[in-house]
């Protein structure tokens, strides 16, 4: 186990002493940040950190700070051969050492959850990619991807919980170096730990690049977090003489969906007929992107919200007439927003999602 896995538990007493309960105002941000890319961080992990960075409406957490903590704790969920899947679920689960007081720098912490999270009914153990012990998770756990679960092994949930914890520890001041240091020290009262986390955080912030490619219509992000599978499904026949006006991108249910470009949420509809749960994104120049069959929306997403390219806006699902098909995103492109003017977005999507398209 890494040193960080051993040391994380020291954050618990301070959290309890602070007596602060952060109530999240999910998904809202007046200045959202485009999802970056870094070769050292799994793509889904970056999505989780960015989604969590603005989850608390009164305190913005730099995504790079969450990334720095996750790097030092578990190498973004890759410790000991584990890895996050496309939805951000880390498998096999990462468990810290048994906290029976035998390891230097730790104190004994008796079981607090009956072994439900950490498989140990006698002592607590830190769990998940951000290494929360069960009693801390009971207080700070969050549903970061609106899938109805609060799971410390889910990167989206763990990152949202860590963001809430850091905001409280820093008294909502994470814009200053002093605030960052105070927050990280609350996570682990070790000078070496604070230095390591901030070093990685600064490196990620300096080296990251926007996770976009340039297609025929300007910079676009792939609307589904890869790996994603799709073919050119434009105009294939459907029942009743209709044709398929759009593209279907197949990915595991719950996979994050991203805004293909900067824009405004024009509509958010639940159970909207054949499309099920849908989002209309109005992009530059008044054209629209239609997302259908969503399993869930990003927490707090509402009509009128501004989103940026690469921002998480929902998850892949099977709602509407997709109940009998594999989970997928149906996406349409209307350059001037009118129903009669759907245009095949194949070329744009194939540029934005390289390597994930079947040959025609």
For residue 159, count CB atoms less than 10 angstroms from its CB and return exposed for 0-12, middle for 13-18, buried for 19 or more.
buried
Which tokens is 53 given? 């960075």
Q: pLDDT averaged over the chain? A: 80
Residue with the larger pLDDT of the pair 94 and 144: 94
pLDDT tens column, 11-33 = 332 222 222 221 222 333 333 33
Say yes or no to pLDDT of 360 above 80.
no
pLDDT at position 148 is 84
pLDDT at position 32 is 32
Q: 0.95 exceeded by the pTM?
A: no
Residue with the larger pLDDT of the pair 148 and 69: 69
Say yes or no to pLDDT of 118 above 50.
yes
pLDDT tens column, 151-181 = 999 999 999 999 999 999 888 788 788 889 9
Task: Give the CA distances from residue 210 to residues 39, 175, 187, 214, 263, in Å, rounded to whole numbers and listed in that order.
Answer: 12, 21, 28, 11, 16
**CA gyration radius for the chain?**
21
Buried b (16+ CB within 10 A) or exposed e, 171-195: ebebeeeebbbbbbbbbbebeebbe
Which tokens is 314 given? 């929902």
Length of the chain equals 360
Around Cβ 354, how many Cβ atoms within 10 Å?
10
pLDDT tens column, 289-300 = 999 999 999 988
pLDDT at position 241 is 58
Say yes or no to pLDDT of 34 above 60.
no
pLDDT at position 80 is 94
Least reliable range by pLDDT among 94-103, 207-216, 350-359: 207-216
Around Cβ 304, how many Cβ atoms within 10 Å?
8
The answer to whether the beta carbons of residues 63 and 150 sit under 8 Å apart is no
Farthest-apart Cα atoms in the chain, separation: 72
Q: If DSSP codes are grouped into helix, strand and coil, which group holds residue 326?
A: coil
Q: If DSSP codes are grouped into helix, strand and coil, which group holds residue 280?
A: strand
Around Cβ 318, how many Cβ atoms within 10 Å?
17
Question: Is residue 58 very low, low, confident or very high in pLDDT (cuts 50, 70, 90)?
Answer: low
Question: Is residue 340 very low, low, confident or very high in pLDDT (cuts 50, 70, 90)?
Answer: low
Q: What is the DSSP string of 159-191?
A: HHHHHHHHHHHTTT--SSHHHHHHHHHHH---H
pLDDT tens column, 136-156 = 999 999 988 777 889 999 999
The answer to whether the beta carbons of residues 357 and 351 sit under 8 Å apart is no
Over residues 54-81, the mean pLDDT reads 89
Say yes or no to pLDDT of 283 above 90.
no
pLDDT tens column, 220-269 = 788 998 778 887 777 666 556 567 888 999 999 999 999 998 899 999 99
């Amino acid at each position: 186990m890494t040193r960080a896995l051993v040391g994380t538990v020291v954050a618990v007493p301070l959290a309890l002493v602070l007596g602060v309960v952060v109530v999240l105002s999910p998904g809202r941000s007046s200045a959202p940040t485009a999802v970056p890319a870094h070769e050292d961080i799994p793509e889904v992990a970056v999505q989780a950190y960015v989604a969590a960075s603005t989850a608390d409406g009164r305190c913005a957490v730099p995504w790079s700070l969450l990334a720095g903590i996750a790097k030092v704790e578990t190498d973004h969920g890759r410790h000991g051969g584990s890895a996050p899947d496309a939805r951000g679920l880390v498998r096999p689960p990462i468990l810290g050492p048994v906290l029976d007081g035998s390891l230097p720098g730790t104190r004994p912490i008796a079981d607090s959850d009956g072994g439900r999270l950490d498989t140990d009914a006698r002592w607590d153990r830190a769990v998940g990619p951000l290494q929360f012990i069960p009693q801390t998770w009971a207080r700070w756990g969050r549903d970061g991807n609106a899938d109805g679960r609060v799971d410390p092994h889910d990167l989206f949930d763990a990152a949202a919980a860590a963001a809430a914890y850091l905001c409280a520890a820093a008294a909502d001041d994470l814009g200053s170096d002093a605030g960052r240091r105070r927050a990280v020290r609350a996570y682990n009262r070790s000078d070496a730990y604070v230095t390591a986390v901030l070093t990685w955080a600064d490196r990620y912030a300096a080296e990251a690049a926007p996770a976009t490619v340039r297609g025929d219509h300007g910079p676009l992000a792939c609307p589904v977090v890869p790996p994603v599978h799709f073919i050119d499904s434009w105009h294939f026949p459907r029942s009743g003489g209709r044709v398929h006006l759009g593209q279907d991108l197949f990915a595991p249910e719950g996979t994050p969906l991203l805004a293909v470009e900067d824009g405004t949420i024009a509509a958010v509809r639940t159970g909207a007929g054949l499309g099920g749960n849908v989002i209309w994104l109005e992009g530059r120049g008044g054209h629209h992107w239609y997302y259908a069959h969503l399993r869930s929306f990003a927490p707090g997403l509402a009509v009128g919200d501004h989103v940026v390219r690469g921002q998480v806006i929902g998850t892949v699902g099977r709602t509407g007439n997709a109940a009998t098909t594999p989970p997928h995103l149906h996406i349409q492109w209307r350059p001037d927003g009118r129903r009669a003017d759907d245009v095949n977005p194949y070329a744009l999507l194939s540029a934005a999602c390289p390597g994930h398209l079947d040959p025609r």
